[in-house]
Amino acid sequence: MLKNRVTNLLLANEKRSLYRFLILYIVMMIGIISLISIYYYQYQKQLMMLNKRVILSDYASEQARKIKSLHFLFPEQNIYPRDSRFVSAIYDLEYQKIFSLLKSNEINFDRELYITKDKKIHFIKSFDDYYLGAKYLILEIDDDELWLHNTWQNIIIYGGFAIFIFSIIGFFLLNLFLSPMKTSLNIMDRFIKDTTHELNTPLSAILTNIEMMDLDAINEDNRKKINRINIAAKTVSVLYNDLTYITLENDIYKSNEKINLKNIIEERVEYFDILARSKEISFTLDLNDSFLVVNKNKFTRVIDNLISNAIKYNKRKGHINIKLFENSFTVEDLGIGIEPDKIRYIFDRYSRFNSSEGGFGIGLSIVKNIIDEYGMQIVVKSKINEGTSITITW
């Protein structure tokens, strides 16, 4: 496996569809499990009620016999029959209470068996002969909720197990979906990494030799050609630096120091000057002192990419404004602009503003990466054919 920082970063829109899949999967998983749980709960409740019904209807027949015999002894005997296993009540057919020992008065005459809000189980038996004037005999027992306890326990145990299994399946599915994406990213990364490695020596040879060249000693025509070579080499150099940043673990991107951005920006504008001049682009700099504790090389990648994009996507004889304040840094070009619906994708790796310009489309993804790492904010404003402004604040 290649060891580098970005291999595992997916493109933002792919991430979005992945999140959607994940959310759908989780919602479905929870839905299915809760549906099963509800059915299970209801089944258990019915089972419990069925058991209670058998027991209670036995009790009820017994109690009915006692009430019947009391009917013929009344009023010489007027003690309502009691039982330690349940309490009961009798109501007449007009739902008037005749006698009651119930603790819960929430009686539902339409149902035979139900649980009241204060957790009592009621069983109602109705008579055809109204002994003691009673049409309804109501038995009440406590709902011990043992079944409920057991049911919940099972739901939690089996539900948890199901979630676990589903999660594993989900994880495998996810990997299945991701593996083609990962493979293609890996191939791209590996290719870039290998290429980058081979570029280092020839590129530095070209740049240093141009630097060392005595321009006065050559004629005007050749000087122009040398300048063009210089521009081309610098363009390649920016790309090279970006590529090394993303593909190679490099020590130069590790240590932080306090830097004055103003100096770096001036230096980078100077560096890109020859590129800008080739398109007759002018700079307006409004630079104030601004100190940051960051890695100089990393932050240079941010500045380089913003400036080189502003040049690349500018028009001939265009203009670039660079503003630096204590807490913000803005690069503004009067170039071709970005279509509104594409702005959200510009930080994706391998995406380009516009296919007419070359490049890997990795520049802004690096910018975003570094900005995020330092916890800064980046805002892109763009109007098609009017220009783009990118502001970083901290």
- Work out how close the CB of 33 gets to other proteins at its nearest, in angstroms, rounded to a whole number: 50
Secondary structure (3-state) at 145: coil
For other proteins, give the closer residue by CB, 46 or 78: 78
- Work out how close the CB of 47 gets to other proteins at its nearest, in angstroms, rounded to a whole number: 35
- Work out how close the CB of 64 gets to other proteins at its nearest, in angstroms, rounded to a whole number: 13
For other proteins, give the closer residue by CB, 126 or 179: 126
How far does Cα 78 stand from its chain's mean position?
72
Token pair listed for 289: 């002192």
Are the C-beta atoms of residues 389 and 381 closer than 8 Å to each other?
yes
Torsion of CA 278, 284, 287, 293, to 10 degrees: -40
The amino acid occupying position 176 is L
For other proteins, give the closer residue by CB, 75 or 180: 75
- Work out how close the CB of 77 gets to other proteins at its nearest, in angstroms, rounded to a whole number: 10
The amino acid occupying position 178 is L
For other proteins, give the closer residue by CB, 19 or 72: 72
Q: Between β-strands 282-287 and 319-324, what pairing exists: parallel, antiparallel or unpaired?
A: parallel
| Peptide bond before residue 75 is cis, with ω within 30 degrees of 0 | yes
- Work out how close the CB of 145 gets to other proteins at its nearest, in angstroms, rounded to a whole number: 32
Q: What is the largest CA-CA distance in the chain?
A: 140
For other proteins, give the closer residue by CB, 140 or 304: 140
For other proteins, give the closer residue by CB, 129 or 198: 129
The span from the CA of 115 to the CA of 144, in Å, is 11
143, 271, 350 from 302: Cα distances, Å: 69, 14, 17
Q: Using CB under 8 A as the criterion, which residues of the chain lie in contact with other proteins when the complex forms?
A: 71-72, 74-75, 78-80, 92-94, 96-99, 129-135
- Work out how close the CB of 86 gets to other proteins at its nearest, in angstroms, rounded to a whole number: 17
